[in-house]
Copies of this chain bind each other. A is one copy, B any other.
Amino acid sequence: MSVPDLVSRARAGDARAVARLISFVEDESPVLREVMAELSPYAGRAQVVGITGSPGVGKSTSTNALVTELRKAGKRVGVLAVDPSSPFSGGALLGDRVRMQEHALDPDVYIRSMASRGHLGGLAWTTPQALRVLDAAGFDVILVETVGVGQSEVEIAALADTTLVLLAPGMGDGIQAAKAGILEIGDLYVVNKADRDGADQVRRDLRSMLALAQRREGAWKPSIVATVAAKGEGLDEVAAEIERHFAWLTETGELALRRTRRARDEIEAIAVTALRARWGDVHGRSELDDLAAAVVAGESDPYAAADTLLDQL
């Protein structure tokens, strides 16, 4: 099937066509640039919601419950579970998507786990393109969830219109142990497992830490919502806050700013990746290897070597 045909089908709601297009992204298919060119007129409508949180806070359950809530409002929902697997192991440890099977037969929900091995730039490379597929395919909301641990919160926040940070009581040192970065990336904080001991404390700690954070005049003030995702409790409020944030983004012009910034990053990542391939970052021994050897031998320095690379462009 041709790329334009696949794009038409994806836009008409054919899940297999969507899956095929995302596989092109994952496999770095040579047709990817044709796919992106075909999709471009249709992209830019979806709200991208990043969901982040430490293992054990109930990310998967919360995502599932949020899908249910968004479906009640008639929204078409895409879910992208990204596994930013270690650059060292290279292995993808995709999370347990079993609970998501509740939505498996719903044609207006599309769920995809995607590895992001990072050898060509990680999240910066594959995730925006997969988002573009789902966006052009007409999903109203796309939830991006990281599977596994570490390192990617900030990257997810950079890709999303709205970033939801999940917390839960009983996670060891609580908020103190959570990465300091989360206080800067959340548009919405969700304290899950709110029926458990310590949930109020997490909320209080969070509230006082957020109050200390310095914000620009007119900046969005993140709210805190309590949920029990396993029982579907509080998700209506989460959905409402997500909508409120999107309205704010749109009204203030912040949405356009964020999206332009993202497009810049994406263009740059593609250009840099192309250059790296030329320089031999991907394919075996190359000019770059020779330059590196000269630097290690003390015969050159990194700047002079970089000049040599750039002169060859």
Q: Which A residues lie at the B interface, using CB under 8 A?
A: 32-33, 36-37, 39-44, 54, 86-89, 128-129, 148-151, 154, 171-173, 177, 179-181, 184-185, 256, 259-261, 263-264, 266-268, 270-272, 274-276, 279, 281, 288-289, 291-293, 295-306, 309-310, 313
**Number of copies of chain A assembled together:** 2
The reply to whether B295 and A267 form a contact with Cβ atoms under 8 Å apart is yes
Residue from the list B44, B274, B296 in contact with A263, Cβ < 8 A: B296
CB distance from A126 to the nearest CB of B (A): 12
Residue from the list B259, B300, B306 in contact with A40, Cβ < 8 A: B300
Task: State in angstroms the CA–CA spacing of A298 and B151 once bound together.
Answer: 31
The reply to whether B89 and A184 form a contact with Cβ atoms under 8 Å apart is yes
The reply to whether B172 and A37 form a contact with Cβ atoms under 8 Å apart is no
Task: State in angstroms the CA–CA spacing of A214 and B41 once bound together.
Answer: 47
Task: State in angstroms the CA–CA spacing of A274 and B274 once bound together.
Answer: 16
The 7 closest A-B pairs by CB, nearest first: A172-B172, A263-B292, A270-B306, A33-B303, A40-B301, A271-B306, A263-B295
Name the CB-closest residue of B to A280.
B264
Task: State in angstroms the CA–CA spacing of A306 and B44 once bound together.
Answer: 19
The reply to whether B275 and A310 form a contact with Cβ atoms under 8 Å apart is yes
The reply to whether A268 and B289 form a contact with Cβ atoms under 8 Å apart is no
With A180-B149, A260-B293, A289-B264 already in contact, the answer to whether A270 and B44 are too (CB < 8 A) is no
The reply to whether A150 and B180 form a contact with Cβ atoms under 8 Å apart is yes
The reply to whether A267 and B292 form a contact with Cβ atoms under 8 Å apart is yes
Name the CB-closest residue of B to A88.
B184
CB distance from A9 to the nearest CB of B (A): 19
The reply to whether B306 and A149 form a contact with Cβ atoms under 8 Å apart is no
Residue from the list B40, B289, B310 in contact with A299, Cβ < 8 A: B40
Task: State in angstroms the CA–CA spacing of A151 and B172 once bound together.
Answer: 19
- Chain B residues with CB under 8 Å of A309's CB are 267-268, 271
The reply to whether A292 and B181 form a contact with Cβ atoms under 8 Å apart is no
7 contacts between A and B (CB under 8 A): A33-B301, A37-B301, A86-B181, A87-B154, A260-B292, A260-B293, A268-B309
Residue from the list B173, B266, B291 in contact with A295, Cβ < 8 A: B266
With A268-B279, A313-B313 already in contact, the answer to whether A86 and B180 are too (CB < 8 A) is yes
With A260-B293, A303-B32 already in contact, the answer to whether A172 and B179 are too (CB < 8 A) is no
With A149-B180, A151-B179, A306-B274 already in contact, the answer to whether A44 and B260 are too (CB < 8 A) is no
Task: State in angstroms the CA–CA spacing of A313 and B303 once bound together.
Answer: 18
Task: State in angstroms the CA–CA spacing of A297 and B177 once bound together.
Answer: 41
